[in-house]
Amino acid sequence: MRFTLKQLEVFLAVAREENVSAAADRLSMSQSAVSEALKNLESQFDIVLFDRLGR
């Protein structure tokens, strides 16, 4: 299994910011693109990387 540099960058930004929207701003990406990258990474390794909390 392999991951892309972009997926790793997204993962690290979300981990640092502790917020998907803030990570998206930091990476100049949309929130949905960041969420999709995380979803793809999680499904690739069949693991949940972050707990998702509702509003």
CB atoms closer than 10 angstroms to residue 40: 14
What per-residue confidence (pLDDT) applies to 53? 75
Q: Does the predicted TM-score (pTM) go above 0.85?
A: no
pLDDT digits (tens, 9 = 90+) for 1-55: 688 899 999 999 999 999 999 999 999 999 999 999 999 999 998 999 888 777 6
Distance CA 43, CA 53 (A): 19
Distance CA 20, CA 10 (A): 9
